[in-house]
Amino acid sequence: MEHFKEFKVNLPKNWMDISDENPNGPPTFIRKEWDKNPGMFQISFAHYKFNSQSNHKHKDLIKLSKEFDSEDEFELLSTDSGQCRYGMYGFAEFKNEEFPFVSVWHLSNKINIVFLTYISTEKQEKCDIDEVYDIFKNIRN
């Protein structure tokens, strides 16, 4: 977990860090009222080291996010990309019967890529999705 310490994650007051419950796993965050809104996000892989010539583009980050569904188990809902505090992002949203909302993000500072997931076992309201996306867009190092 040492390599995760370089990231700053600003959580709203209604979120908590439960990473200590799985010390060998990735940083994991949930809402304090889990029983009312069972969604969690993880920084699943802190970063990949690429050479400084990689120069990732938005479409590359979307492609990486879409590759999450390599087994075609999910329905692709949408994709998007843009700028964030870390640099740039690309994401893909999915759903299936078990997980009605899954969002996969890749952030890049043109050298490193951060992989984030948000998974919920219940349909998410727009305000809940916006809250998660605000957290993701404001991750920085």
Residue 60 belongs to what domain range? 2-137
Q: How far is CA 35 from the centre of its chain?
A: 21
Candidates 50, 47, 28, 31; CA nearest to 39 is 31
Residue 20: both structure tokens together: 């200590």
Report the candidate in 4, 9, 2 with the shortest Cα–Cα distance to residue 135: 9
Number of domains in the chain: 1
pLDDT for the residue numbered 3: 46
Q: For position 9, what pLDDT does the model report?
A: 87
Joined together, the tokens standing for residue 110 give 């043109």
What is the structure's pLDDT at 1? 41
- Where does 4-122 show beta strands of DSSP type E? 15-17, 28-31, 39-49, 75-83, 88-95, 101-108, 112-120
pLDDT at residue 25, rounded to an integer: 86
Instruction: With 0.75 as the threshold, say if the pTM is over it.
Output: yes
Strand partners, 105: 91, 116
Q: What is the full per-residue pLDDT of the chain (141 aa) written as tens digits?
A: 444 566 788 899 999 999 999 888 888 999 998 777 788 999 876 555 555 555 678 999 999 999 998 889 999 999 999 999 999 999 999 999 999 999 999 998 887 888 999 999 999 999 999 999 999 999 987
- Residue 49 sits in a domain of what CATH number? 3.40.1000.10
